[in-house]
Amino acid sequence: MKIVQQSFKCLALAILMFLPTSIFANNATQDGGQINTKEKVDAYIQHHIKDSHDFTFFSYTNDAGERKHVGFALPVIIWSSEGLVTFMSSEFHHNDDGTVVVEKDGLKFVKSHSKIYELEAGAKTVAFDEEHHVTNGKRLLDFSITKSVFGILLISALLFFWFFRLAKQYKKRQIPTGFGRILEPLVIYVRDEIAKPNIGDKHYRRFTGYLLTVFFFIWFLNLAGLTPLGFNVTGQLAVTACLALFTLVIYAVSGNKDFWQHILWMPGVPYLIRPVLAVIELVGTFVIKPFSLLIRLFANISAGHVIVMSLIAIMFVLKDSLGVAGATGLSFMLAVLIMFIEILVAFLQAYIFTMLSALFIGMAVAEHDHEHEHTASGLEIPDEEDIRGDFV
Amino acid sequence: MYNLIGAGLIVIGAGFGLGQIGGKAMEGIARQPEAAGKIQTAMIIIAALLEGLAFGALILGR
Amino acid sequence: METLLNDFSPGLFAVQTVLLLLFIFLMVKFAWKPILGSLNEREEGIQGALDAAEKAKREMANLQADNERLLQEARLEREAMLKEARELKSKMIADAEAEAQSQANKMIAQAQEAITNEKKAAMAELKSHVAGLSLDIAEKVVRNELSNKDKQLQLVEDMLAEATLN
């Protein structure tokens, strides 16, 4: 009975994955869209690193020399000069250099480098300057369900499904079964190794939910980025910026009196230096900390994607000098090697993001239940937990 | 061109720093094996902060 | 930096903010609260069970000590009782012996007295009997002797002969 149920689930998932799959034809690339030069590899990687408006599993060139993409279109939702406009991304026909113009509600839209522009009134085609920036259109606020948003929805739904089931199992018989047995130690790990030691026994309960959510969200999105589905969600600056902003808001809102006092008017420091230090502390708290969080995650994951794709590209680029077997073997070996490191990095970055978030929150809610000791000259003798602040 | 040289310098500096962190952590663990867990955690945090700095500088300079 | 800012998509940022808020809310409400609650409950349960076991162990030890004490007491009591019984026994034996002794002594004394009395009575009877007999014999002898005059005279003669009047 259980097996039947499981098979049904798998089948349903498979159907769900391939039902909207359609094959688009795109004649834009003359040489069949094959990528085998350094420049094209570079362009391809740059394209992959960016967000995409449609979901492509893979592309191939058929006998007629047409480029075919296997995947499905995603909805485009943009805030234009006339208000909200929605259409399916299939209307761009996988074009990404602005040559295909979509007309909706009397407005013309083009897509260039994964960004959608609204052409000025009267313009028929898109025009570029030397640096390939669009000159006769304006960039729009793009609320589309892009590939990244799709990834976020997918992973969120998956995580919610798993943990909701785990919660239900606890209600029923107190002991998790199946996949829950893997998730439970991870939950306990985040709670006991990240939240508790960094925030403190008294306050950690309030923030554990956020830390757990962020940890699993980042980790599984990182892992999803390593699958052939080709998500690069945590390598999107907007996504990491949002995550960092959440941490910033949480520690700024929950910061207690001591925290603000130590930022704005720190005790035990000569009065003349206090404003200078306050500026430094403010910049550190509101700019450097979140910025380091968002840049670290973004750069690590983007760099990982670039490295893996570059190593795979060795296959094509070095084909002439090393031979097919040599280039493929070298690329395969290096790619496998770096893939293992990337799996580690996927976990490590989630861990570090969560860890630093917990650390920052912990610094904001830390209670100094004793007055600081001061030397005769008025200098503060830092107590033990304050040393953590020196690292940041 | 100059920003590439700068990026190279940053990478050299970060590499040196990471080496220091790792080496000192190893020394610390060798001296006090019972504190290995705490040292590792601190090491990872400091390494992450250094890495963030290096990445930030790299991206800003690019 | 420029390319970075150029690649930053405010729309994606907005969408992600909304989705993340929703996701955190849903996860906290439907997943983390029950999971962490159950974990805490379980940990407390385990702690409670451990405490209870510890308590039971301590109680067991107490009980054992109690038992030991009771046993010790019982042993002492038994010993005391045994000692008492032994004393009683020896006392009883001694008493019995003493009584038997005195009884025996008394009986012996009575017997001796009776014997003495009997003896005396027998003696007296014997004496009277002997006296009677001696009288009878003497009477008979005398009668016999006196019936024969010659002999008497002879005897007197003999005796006179023997008793030389010197």
Residues on chain B touching A355 (C-beta within 8 angstroms): 41, 44-45, 48
Task: Determine the distance from the C-alpha atom of residue A149 to the mean position of all C-alpha atoms in its chain, rounded to a whole number.
Answer: 10
C19/A241 CB distance under 8 A: no
A293/B52 CB distance under 8 A: yes
Q: Is the pLDDT of residue A124 over 80?
A: no
Name which of C13, C23, C35 is nearest A187 (Cβ-Cβ).
C35
What domains are there in chain B, each with its CATH number? 1-60 (1.20.20.10)
- State the average pLDDT for chain C: 87
Across residues A24-32, what is the average pLDDT? 42
CB A389 within 8 A of CB A366: no
Q: Please, which residues 21-40 of chain B have a Cβ atom closer than 8 Å to chain A? A: none
Sheet of A137-139, strand order: A102-104, A107-112, A115-119, A137-139
Least confident of A174-183, C87-96, C118-127: A174-183
The 10s digit of each residue's pLDDT in A217-271 is: 999 999 999 988 888 888 888 999 999 999 999 999 988 888 888 888 878 778 8
Same structural domain for residues A219 and A274? yes
| pTM of the full structure | 0.74
C33–chain A Cβ distance below 8 A for any pair: yes
CA atoms of A343 and A341, how far apart (whole Å): 5
pLDDT value at residue A33 = 55
Q: Range of A185's domain?
A: 148-365
Same structural domain for residues A318 and A263? yes
Domain boundary among A144, A178, A202: A144
A269: exposed, middle or buried (Cβ count in 10 Å: 0-12, 13-18, 19+): middle
Count of domains observed in chain A: 2
Name which of A295, A359, A391 is nearest B55 (Cβ-Cβ).
A295
CB A26 within 8 A of CB A95: yes
Domain boundary among A99, A117, A144: A144
Q: Does the model's ipTM exceed the 0.90 cut?
A: no
- State the average pLDDT for chain A: 79
Across residues A367-384, what is the average pLDDT? 52
Same structural domain for residues A209 and A320? yes
pLDDT value at residue A119 = 78
Residues on chain C touching B59 (C-beta within 8 angstroms): 1, 4
pLDDT value at residue A3 = 53
Within a domain: A37: no
Same structural domain for residues A228 and A309? yes
pLDDT value at residue A13 = 52
pLDDT value at residue A35 = 67
Within a domain: A97: yes
Query: Which chain B residue lies closest to A300 (C-alpha atoms)?
Result: B55
Same structural domain for residues A171 and A316? yes
* Smallest Cα distance from A13 to chain C, Å: 22
Same structural domain for residues A83 and A166? no
pLDDT value at residue A334 = 92
A378-384: list long-range contacts, CB under 8 Å, 24+ apart.
Answer: A378/A268, A378/A269, A378/A270, A379/A268, A380/A266, A380/A267, A380/A268, A380/A269
* Smallest Cα distance from A139 to chain C, Å: 10
Within a domain: A60: no
pLDDT value at residue C140 = 83
Within a domain: A65: no
Same structural domain for residues A247 and A126? no
The 10s digit of each residue's pLDDT in A306-330 is: 888 888 888 888 888 888 888 889 9
Within a domain: A247: yes
Structure letter (DSSP) for residue A130 = T
B56–chain A Cβ distance below 8 A for any pair: yes
Within a domain: A135: yes
Query: Which chain C residue lies closest to A208 (C-alpha atoms)?
Result: C32
- State the average pLDDT for chain B: 86
Same structural domain for residues A187 and A83? no
CA atoms of A209 and C33, how far apart (whole Å): 8
Q: Is the pLDDT of residue C114 over 60?
A: yes
**A375 Ramachandran zone, left/alpha/beta (phi>0; psi -120 to 50):** beta
Q: Is the pLDDT of residue B24 over 80?
A: yes
> Two tokens at C96?
């019995």
B60–chain C Cβ distance below 8 A for any pair: yes
Residues on chain B touching C4 (C-beta within 8 angstroms): 59, 62
Same structural domain for residues A139 and A152? no
Same structural domain for residues A256 and A316? yes
Same structural domain for residues A165 and A193? yes
Better pLDDT: A382 or B17: B17
Q: Please, which residues 113-142 of chain A have a Cβ atom closer than 8 Å to chain C? A: 115, 140-142
CB A137 within 8 A of CB A123: yes
Query: Which chain A residue lies closest to C42 (C-alpha atoms)?
Result: A174
Name the helix (H) or strand (E) containing A96.
none
Q: Is the pLDDT of residue A51 over 90?
A: no
C32/A243 CB distance under 8 A: no
The 10s digit of each residue's pLDDT in A162-194 is: 999 888 888 877 677 788 888 889 999 999 888
Within a domain: A140: yes
Same structural domain for residues A153 and A139? no
pLDDT value at residue A9 = 58
Within a domain: A36: no
